[in-house]
């Protein structure tokens, strides 16, 4: 209806990036102030508040803050996922207007759109993930949701706006396969864990689950490696970059970053679970020795 140009976002990427960055700095500051003042009012938490500045500052960062009844953690993740899709759609509009729409762009756009829509369909599974149960809502999460997700996950799209990649039929088929396998592993493993948390007798691949110490799932994807869900996500990230070919490393920034992030996160999660589950975790790690990729890591 000509109210706003569909290329408004793709034409002003840097301005939006800068505005979103400063918004997340401001949002983090407000979250810390709100968290600090609410913890100061709670007498049971007072001993911690009298510690040093770093401790107080850290203490101000809450696990699951709410504002006007809205869960801010979910709010920011949703904003980030929607922002990513909007950026991509705007990039798509720009490439159509420039008459440079390519097969690579269509593949990249399709994979990402499925990933984002799938997030909203299965958002309930998020409630048993690390970000929700263990990560405090400070700068890392706010910046990650509002700036990192929409802008770095769309790097391949920005790159394809100004660069070309010729894909053979075999490469296109291989790319689709990486996406499909990544999706099945990612979605399947996250779903299995979520279902298990709700009902530890729920069937896994049609069989009763193998359970360690009554608490940990050791069959299905969770019997192959301790974080198959990370493996699936990494394959998906790779499938978003493969449409760009291999002439430049820039489109591979996202899978490379995710590889580092997930290896680091797996180590943190492992330490957390070892402390929480003690002997049960040791038994599970003996039973399932691979962390992410069987026979490699």
Residues that bind ligand NDP (CB under 6 A): 128-131, 133, 186, 190, 193, 196, 216-217, 222, 227, 229-230, 233, 258, 262, 265, 269, 272-273, 276
Q: How far is the CB of 230 from ligand NDP (least distance, A)?
A: 5
Q: How far is the CB of 17 from ligand NDP (least distance, A)?
A: 17
Q: How far is the CB of 274 from ligand NDP (least distance, A)?
A: 10
Q: Closest by alpha carbon to 37, among 14, 60, 17? A: 60
Q: How far is the CB of 252 from ligand NDP (least distance, A)?
A: 15
Nearer to ligand NDP, 102 or 128 (CB): 128
In DSSP terms, which residues pair with 216 in a beta bridge? Answer: 212
Q: How far is the CB of 130 from ligand NDP (least distance, A)?
A: 3
Nearer to ligand NDP, 136 or 193 (CB): 193
Nearer to ligand NDP, 24 or 190 (CB): 190
Encoding tokens for residue 258?
């995710």
Nearer to ligand NDP, 165 or 258 (CB): 258
Nearer to ligand NDP, 10 or 229 (CB): 229
Are the C-beta atoms of residues 160 and 103 closer than 8 Å to each other?
no
Encoding tokens for residue 77?
């993740």
Encoding tokens for residue 178?
């990486």
Nearer to ligand NDP, 93 or 195 (CB): 195
Q: How far is the CB of 286 from ligand NDP (least distance, A)?
A: 13
Nearer to ligand NDP, 86 or 93 (CB): 86
Q: How far is the CB of 125 from ligand NDP (least distance, A)?
A: 8
């Amino acid at each position: 209806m000509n109210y706003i140009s569909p290329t408004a976002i793709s034409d002003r990427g840097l301005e939006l990036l800068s505005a979103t960055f400063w918004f997340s700095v401001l949002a983090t500051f407000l979250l810390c102030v709100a968290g600090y003042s609410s913890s100061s009012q709670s007498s049971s938490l007072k001993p911690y508040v009298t510690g040093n500045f770093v401790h107080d500052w850290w203490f101000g960062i809450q696990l699951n803050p709410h504002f006007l009844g809205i869960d801010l953690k979910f709010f920011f993740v949703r904003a980030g996922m929607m922002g990513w899709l909007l950026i991509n759609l705007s990039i798509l509009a720009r490439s159509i207007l420039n008459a440079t729409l390519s097969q690579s762009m269509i593949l990249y756009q399709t994979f990402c759109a499925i990933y984002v829509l799938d997030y909203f369909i299965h958002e309930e599974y998020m409630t048993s993930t690390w970000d929700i149960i263990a990560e405090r809502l400070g700068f890392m999460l706010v910046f990650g949701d509002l700036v990192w997700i929409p802008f770095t996950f769309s790097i391949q799209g920005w790159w394809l706006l100004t660069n070309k990649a010729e894909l053979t039929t075999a490469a296109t088929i291989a790319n689709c396969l990486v996406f499909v396998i990544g999706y099945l592993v990612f979605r399947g493993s996250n779903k299995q864990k979520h279902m298990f948390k709700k009902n530890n007798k729920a069937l896994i691949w049609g069989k009763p689950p193998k359970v360690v110490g009554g608490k940990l799932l050791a069959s299905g994807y969770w019997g192959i490696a301790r974080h198959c869900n990370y493996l699936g996500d990494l394959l998906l990230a790779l499938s978003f970059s493969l449409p760009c070919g291999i002439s430049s490393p820039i489109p591979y920034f996202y899978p490379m970053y995710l590889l580092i992030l997930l290896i680091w996160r797996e180590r943190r999660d492992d330490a957390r679970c070892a402390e929480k589950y003690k002997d049960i975790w040791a038994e599970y790690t003996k039973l399932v020795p691979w962390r992410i990729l069987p026979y490699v890591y």
